[in-house]
Structure 1
Amino acid sequence: MSDVVRELGSRALLDEAARRGADCEVWSVRRETEEVVCRGGTVERRSDVVSGATAVTVWCEGTEGYAVQALPDSADPALVRSALAVGRALPDRVVAPDDPPPAPERPVRAVHRPCLDEATVGAVRSLSEARTGLDIELRARAERSSVRLHRQGGEARGYRTGLFQLQARVTSTTADGVGFVSHQAFGDRAAGPLGEAAPRDLAELCELADVLATPPVADPRYDDVLVTGWVMVKLLALVAPAFQLDTVNEGRSPLAGRTGRRVCAPGVDLVDDPAAPEYPLAAPWDDEGTPTRAVPLVTDGVLRRFLGNRRSAPGPTDRGSGWRGASGEMPRVGPSHLSLRPGPVIGAGPREGRRLLRVVQANGAHTSNGITGDFSIGANAVLEEPGGVCRNAGNITLAGNVFELLRRIEGHDGVVRVSRSHTAFLTSPGVWANHLTIGR
């Protein structure tokens, strides 16, 4: 669909709102998603889907209303009527923004539009081939999105994104047991994840699955603990809301009032950057139109600021983190590309002469509390002997407090892992910590 046709749709909605005496903003997204699943050297299924949403926000007589339709670039005037009805039903009195959002200061970088051509599918299929006893399932996805925002009194503007995602599920089956491990890789084109999967990631996953399929060691004692990036990104997701202004305003963040105080170990940075070079969904502005920029939440262990949006932040300098859900829901505060960057590297292996417990996979939260940071999760771990030999440590329970973990990070292994939830990416290396409670 051309930009001219798309603008005609948003203009029709803006005109409908104006006829009804309302200020209006139209946001829309159009997504093209290709997916292929390969297993054992064969293509199991393929899909190609076009989806999207149109969201309308209206301000009229001190009220704010919104409506969403699961259709990209809709021009249906019923959207405006529904948004006005919602505004009249809501109790809150809201003042409309004075002006259309400003244009972003920096140019948008070049965007690649990945696709699942036959060469890419062939590469994925080839990587899924495995020996007897090993099952490799690879899910490759190419996403191409186009986001547009049109505010009454301003010009329509938009940006495009391209994302290639490779998800691997490796299962090793032996006479003694079954070992399973999963992994995700992302990039703005297929060459990155596929290039890493063959020489490094996939070989590591297969080796790890084989170890987890062996009987657990009888002696579970260890000297050091490494919580790998695969597990750290899940723990970081638990407390990410504490770094958001909406959570602070609602009294649910334990970090409220602690700006300028130490909340992480010295040398640890926590940065949200929607334009990070490694972030394939880079956005010049958030879903409210506010220009995005890198937000240093924690610098050298000290809390500096919070993420905010138009509703939660007092001024424009604290905004830029208002993102809609997958179905176009009203913008809420959230990270885009949140990176935990710890201080000095101790090293990928255990210290000389010491036995390492490497926690490699979280299997679900038994209990977790995003306000206090307390957690107890099931996990898989391996024991690495001083000579480098790895053995299965079995299923364990890992418990502690994420905020305390951040304050007591002793180092990291430099191996960064990534987790994705819609538009939010969380990245972290593995970290060393000896104060967690571990049981079997």
Structure 2
Amino acid sequence: MSEASDFLNATAAERGADCEVWENAHETDELVCRDGAVERRVATAATATALTVWKDGTEGYAVHIPGGADASLVDTALAVGRALGSAPPAPAHRTPPPAEPGPGPLADPRLDETVAQRLAKLTADPGDVDVELRARADRSRVLLHRAGGEPLRHTTGTFQLQARITAKGRRVGFIAHQMFGRSADAVLADAEGTELAELTALARVLARDPVPHLSHDDVLLDGRVMVKLFMLAVPAFQLDSVLEGRSPLAGRTGERIGSAGLSLVDDPLAADSPLPTPWDDEGTACRATTLLEDGVLRGFLSSRRTAAEAGTVSTGSGRRGASGEMPTVQPGFLALRPGTPLGDAPRDGRTLLKVVQANGAHTSNVITGDFSIGANAVLVTPDGAQHNAGNITLAGNVFELLTRIDGHDGRPRVNRGHTSFVTSPGVWTSGLTIGR
């Protein structure tokens, strides 16, 4: 990979420009298992090269797929810079961060035959339940090379398992769940140990006739649902949204915007991060960034460009798109952590409405945080019995929801958007309008 970056940096220097080259060689293995067999298997590989050039007070960009050494890429980036006009000065050179900071090595997941057989075995029992497992292993070799400096390199990846469980009773009960980790072994251990058995039992409950009347005392949003709702609020914690007037949190640093004990931390190198990266796609070292502490807003995620515009320093959150598009502000591993553990059982003498699956947004607004979504839920009576609550509608505002979290169930769930991951446990809340 370094040969192409050497060539592009040298070509830019010949044209009187400073240059930074980003290269990614990406591999993906995927398979689908049903009825005790591997139904489909595919492996793909792709490369991409992106560069940024600075010349005469301008900044230009270009992307080439597949990657490689092509002098026209430099000329395209220079032409883009001239078209965009004046830009901030080129950033100063930096000292490369350590190759592998944090707990243990970076991830290199594989879908070998042993993994395929384990997955197939998990789908083998037909009965009244159909189990479909979709596994995916991603690996990336990333290089970032600024002219005049040493190249930065890392290899990392993530393993993803999607379970789709369908139970057939008087009705059809369906539940889907995604699991992520640094290795297939870690994810499969959870699937074999607890997750699939719990999902199968839940699908069977959803296959029963729903209760005729929806009546409950408390509400618990499973992490699968909470993390999708919280995704509406994530842009508000990004500095580009603040600078562009799209964040309702602008100017509120130091204010309480969440429940007591609630924290929000972005840490791509956390022990449970599914995709550990030592530096972002601009070469800034990744570190833990606290955005909420005890419900109080402490700051925002930023990239090199947005931090310079705001007169601060990047949080290491400048990340490129799937094809190497220019960096935008994105989290790495953003964890919402409510303060009080309450478990997932109903309180004494009370009926719990447990919302277990979101079925898509009817209406949602990522700027205001307003939402209305369809969902599936179960009613858990004081004796622990579970009943199908049927299809319901949840409505509310995600920012108000953050202020009305009473506790959590201790079961973190993860949602993914390309290289960004967001996680939250299930939360006990009273901040929703619920109906059928």
- TM-score, normalised to structure 2's length? 0.97
In the alignment, the residues of structure 2 paired with residue 78 and residue 260 of structure 1 have an alpha-carbon distance, to the nearest angstrom, of: 48
Alignment CA distance shift 1:76-1:141 (3 Å): same
- Aligned-pair CA distance for 1:92: 4.6
The 5 A counterparts of 1:134-213 are: 134-174=129-169, 176-213=170-207
Picking from 361, 371, 378, the partner of 2:374 is 378
Asked if 1:351 is matched to 2:354, the reply is no
Deviations 1:355-375 (A, max 9, x none): 011111111111111111111
Name the counterpart of 2:217.
223
Measure, in 1, the Cα distance between the counterparts of 2:431 and 2:89: 49
* 1:94 Cα offset (Å): 3.2
Deviation, 1:152, is 1.0
What is the CA-CA distance between 1:78 and the residue it aligns to? 1.3
Aligned partner of 2:390 among 390, 394, 406: 394
- For 1:56, the equivalent position in structure 2 comes to 51
> Counterpart of 1:372 in 2: which secondary structure?
coil
Residue pairs, 1:92-131, within 5 angstroms: 92-97=86-91, 99-104=92-97, 107-108=100-101, 109-131=104-126
Deviation of 1:162 after TM superposition, in Å, equals 2.7
Q: CA RMSD in A?
A: 1.3
Question: Which residue identity lines up with residue 195 of structure 2 in the other structure?
Answer: D
Cα deviations by residue, 1:49-99 (Å, 9 ceiling, x for unpaired): 111311011111111111111224x111111111111111124533211x2
The answer to whether residue 238 in structure 2 is matched with residue 244 in structure 1 is: yes
Q: Which runs of no fewer than 5 residues in structure 2 stay unpaired? A: none
The runs of at least 4 aligned residues of structure 1 exceeding 6 Å deviation read none
TM alignment of 1:221-370, pairs within 5 A: 221-314=215-308, 315=311, 317-370=313-366
Separation (CA, whole Å) in 1 of partners of 2:99 and 2:380: 47
| C-alpha contact (below 8 Å) 1:161/1:280 kept by paired residues | no
Match of 1:86 in 2: 80
Cα separation, 2, equivalents of 1:111 and 1:318: 22
CA distance in 1 between counterparts of 2:279 and 2:77 reads 23
- The equivalent of 1:3 in structure 2 is none
Q: What is the aligned partner in structure 2 of residue 43 from structure 1?
A: 38
**Cα distance between partner residues in 1 of 2:126 and 2:166:** 11
Name the residue aligned to 2:13. 18
Report the equivalent of 1:9.
4
Contact 1:310 1:316 in 2 (8 A): no
Matching residue of 1:422: 418
1:230-284: per-residue Cα shift (whole Å, max 9, x none)? 0011011111010011000001111111111101101011000011111132111
Identity value in percent: 58
Would the alpha carbon gap of residues 68 and 41 (structure 1) be closer, same or farther in structure 2, given more than 3 Å must change? same
1:321-354 Cα distance to aligned partner (Å, 9 max, x none): 1000111110000111000000111221111110
